[in-house]
Amino acid sequence: MKPDRERIAELRRLIRHHDRKYYIDAAPEISDYEYDMLVAELRKLEEKHPELITPDSPTQRVGGEPLEGFATVEHRLPMLSIDNTYSEDEMREFDRRVRRLLESDEVEYVVELKIDGLAVSLVYEDGLFTLGSTRGDGFRGDDVTTNLKTIKAIPLRLEPPKKGFRMPAVLEARGEVYMPIAAFEKLNKEREKEDLPLFANPRNAAAGSMKLLDPRTVAGRHLSICIYGLGYTEGLEVNTHFEALNLLRSLGLRTNPNTRLCPDIDEVMDFCNEWEEKRHSLDYHIDGMVVKVNSFEQQELLGATSKAPRWVISYKFPAEEGITKLKEIKVQVGRSGTLTPVALLEPVHLAGTTVTRATLHNADEVARKDIREGDWVAVAKAGEIIPQVLRVIKERRTGKEKPFKMPQTCPVCGEKVRRVPDEVYIKCTNPLCEAQRKQRIRHFARRDGMDIEGLGPAVIEQLVDKGLVDDFTDLYHLKLEDLVALERMGKKSSENLLGAIEKSKSRDLPEVLSAMGVEHIGTHAAEVLAEHFGSLDGLARASSEDLEKIEEIGPIMAESIAGFFHSPAGKKLLKRLKDIGVNTRSLARARPKAATPFTDKSVVVTGTLSGYSRKEAEDLVKELGGKVSSSVSARTDFLVAGDKPGSKLTKAQKLGVKIMSEEEFEKLFTSA
């Protein structure tokens, strides 16, 4: 057995190696499971020997307590911006100017993608990541080191590319932090469920995440980075930008593989046009290309204006936008009372879809862009996702346009509204507001909440308007005659709805909890909490300190949950749900009545199944009394293997665990 100290060093080396394979080279060598096992082993050893923990250990990415604020950092070399061009003519003009100033036609260019995120600086001293900052005003930015450390694509220590390599005393890498589109969509979906304001595009989401004070929340934002150049360095010899990119990559920093060294402007344009065509094939948003003179000597000769270097230019893609008339600005009231102005538009065709509404985000945004009812506006799909109003075509104003003012009272209940301190949004202060009540009931009934089929917006509208339902607990007291009396509700559909309401009482704990709509608690947090506490009673007893200790539960969530369950209203709601007979315990822990082939069996599901998602298959196993585990061990009874089962299959074979195909699995549970 190796001494712990050696094993710790070995584990760190292995994890660093696999991080690099996964995040930098996109060529993983081991499964996620095997990777998690290495990290778990390291954590355990570090718990045993806290004195051996170093700041660059892979376990130290998510730092301790939230910060009070960010310190200011002065950049050793200013972070300048870039001049933009919008046409091939302007690009050729740039090339002519460069050659004229250099008095040479021997100019090579490096062409890169222009990722739409935020610029950051990463300082490595003797190979160790010591300081990360935002661009700020170009001279001074914020120290966001703890936030940047949570990004796994940022190595905490640089790897010498070969034996005998002298690590530079100081190496500053500059790059763009961004949020991949999938992470952005997922984040906004979560925020929508939690009734939080949505981010307009991936860039705002990335920039907003960098401003968060709690690194745990940042870690959940799934940010990434591409390094596009050097800043201040000491002890480094490189002559060209292309060489610098290769060196940065060989040190373990993530550069963009879609980069080309071009001998002349014709090839530069070819590469730019190629990417303008296929830009939507990327999993992040780019708004153009960046073209840089390759030779550092030539860069120096060209120098900079006060604003931007003369050796670099960006070629911006035209935004995919359409022009249409804004008919009306409507104010929507969300589940927790947030007022959101929404533009109702004459239909316009954009990037393959017809757009009739666009979010205006908040009153500040409407004022900043001076958007009025009746205006002609340019709309675009921000980050190709949510339609938004880009700008007003002021030339087309007739004078009849109506300026917009955020209402001083709630447009639905008429109560006063209030501005949330330090925030841009405005909320209705009346928890009994009809709009909020309707939204809460909708949220309660949605598919991944209580899943009450047949309880759509039209029915909820009538139930609340007629005073039959004030909050979602009243649903359980509805009678057949109440429902039959509603518009467009026959006897059959009323009976079905009553059946669906009754059935919802046995939903599992995560769904019940997320349906309750506690602020900041979305589906994922609900799952984490259900798993941890096993019952609403257990959760209700927890203090905010207890909650904060749970991984993935940040201080804002903890505060919200404890605040809710300790409040008289929260206590009353919990009691009412229990009196009604709504399930308040984790079904995964309860036993089904009759024995099935899965009773007490430990089951692992791996690979892709054709008929179910992994979660659906696992839920089936749990319903039939089985236990689901994510890893194969000698205690595993069955491994259900779908397509591309990976390392779990190999491990199961080694341990002699029974392996089941999807068909066998299906047969077994249909017989149960």
Site residues (CB under 6 A) for ligand IVH? 80-82, 112, 114-115, 119, 135, 176, 228-229, 290, 309, 312, 314
- Of 248, 286, 260, 205, nearest to 24 by C-alpha is 248
Q: Closer CB to ligand IVH, residue 134 or residue 523? A: 134
Nearer to ligand IVH, 250 or 258 (CB): 258
Helix (H, G, I), strand (E, B) or coil at 207: helix
Residue 333 CB, shortest distance to ligand IVH, in Å, is 37
Smallest distance, Å, CB 118 to ligand IVH? 6
Nearer to ligand IVH, 62 or 80 (CB): 80
Q: Which of 392, 340, 398, 337 is nearest to 364 (CA)?
A: 340
Residue closest to ligand IVH (Cβ) = 119
Tell the burial category of 89 from Cβ atoms under 10 Å away from its Cβ (0-12, 13-18, 19+): exposed
Beta-sheet strand order (sheet of 128-134): 128-134, 118-125, 170-178, 224-234
- Min dist CB 114 to ligand IVH, Å, is 4
Q: How far is the CB of 580 from ligand IVH (least distance, A)?
A: 54
Q: Which residue type, as a one-letter code, is found at position 41?
A: E
How does strand 128-134 pair with strand 118-125?
A: antiparallel
Cα first-last separation, the chain: 47
> What is the smallest separation between the CB atom of 197 and ligand IVH, expressed in angstroms?
24
For ligand IVH, the closer CB: 175 or 334: 175
The residues, any chain, with a CB within 8 Å of residue 218's CB and separated by 6 or more, are 147, 150, 209, 210, 212
Residue 290 or 604 with smaller CB distance to ligand IVH:
290
Q: Is 114 a catalytic residue?
A: yes
Residue from 21, 114, 193, 479 carrying the catalytic annotation: 114
Residue 73 CB partners (closer than 8 Å, separation 6+): 131, 133, 136, 140, 141, 142, 143
Under a CB-based contact definition with an 8 Å cutoff, are residues 111 and 91 in contact? no
Q: Which residues pair with 374 in a beta bridge?
A: none
Distance of CA 115 to the CA centre of its chain: 17
Contact 50, 196 (CB under 8 A): no
Please tell me the distance from the alpha carbon of residue 440 to that of residue 475, in angstroms, as a whole number.
12
Nearer to ligand IVH, 290 or 501 (CB): 290
Structural contact between residues 265 and 107, judged by C-beta atoms closer than 8 angstroms: no
Taking the complex as a whole, the smallest distance from the CB of residue 23 to ligand IVH amounts, in Å, to: 18
* Residue 176, beta-bridge partner list: 119, 226
Which of 228/476 has CB closer to ligand IVH? 228
Which positions are annotated as active-site residues? Answer: 114
